[in-house]
């Protein structure tokens, strides 16, 4: 039990030699009963920490997912905007083309009428 706890604590203190020595001396001074209580307390603390970390990870994943959904919605809105703008430009181009065509036809009719008027004289 003592070795298990010592290895866990060594990892937690990032292998700091001074802290490891302090931990070893404190563990050596403890009775078997105190060690069991300490181990149970340590396990509870680790379990709480792991649950908190899991909750934090879950929250962060949810935030990332929400941001991705928002980005997707914004890109869809922009895509729709571009499609409307494209359709509007196509319609405007067709309108201009029809106006030009109508103008050419009117000019041709007018020109023919003028030509016929001059031929009569």
Domain count, the chain: 1
Residue from 120, 118, 98 nearest 110 by CA: 118
pLDDT at 107: 78
Cβ burial 67-106 (10 Å sphere, 16+ → b, else e): eeeeeeeeeeeeeeeeeeeeeeeeeeeeeeeeeeeeeeee
Residue 37 has pLDDT above 70, yes or no: yes
- Is this model's pTM higher than 0.85 or not? no
pLDDT at 83: 98
Residue 75 lies in a domain: yes
Largest Cα–Cα separation, the chain? 133
Residue 6 lies in a domain: no
Tell me if 5 sits within 8 A of 27, measured CB to CB: yes
**pLDDT tens digits along 45-92:** 999 999 999 999 999 999 999 999 999 999 999 999 999 999 999 999
pLDDT at 77: 98
Residue 86 lies in a domain: yes
What is the span of the domain harbouring residue 58? 31-120
- CB-based contacts of 5, cutoff 8 Å, min separation 6: 27, 35, 38, 39, 42
Residue 118 has pLDDT above 60, yes or no: no
Residue 119 has pLDDT above 70, yes or no: no
Average pLDDT over residues 83-105: 94
pLDDT at 2: 77
Residue 114 lies in a domain: yes
Residue 38 has pLDDT above 80, yes or no: yes
């Amino acid at each position: 039990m003592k070795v298990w706890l010592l290895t866990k604590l060594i990892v937690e203190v990032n292998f700091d030699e001074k802290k490891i020595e302090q931990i070893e001396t404190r563990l050596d001074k403890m009775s078997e009963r105190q060690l069991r209580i300490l181990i149970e307390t340590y396990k509870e603390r680790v379990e709480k920490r792991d649950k908190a970390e899991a909750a934090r990870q879950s929250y962060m994943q949810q935030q990332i997912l929400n941001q991705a959904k928002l980005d997707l919605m914004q890109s869809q809105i922009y895509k729709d905007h571009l499609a409307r703008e494209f359709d509007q430009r196509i319609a405007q181009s067709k309108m201009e083309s029809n106006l030009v065509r109508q103008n050419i036809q009117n000019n041709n009719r007018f020109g023919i009428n003028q030509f016929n008027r001059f031929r009569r004289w």
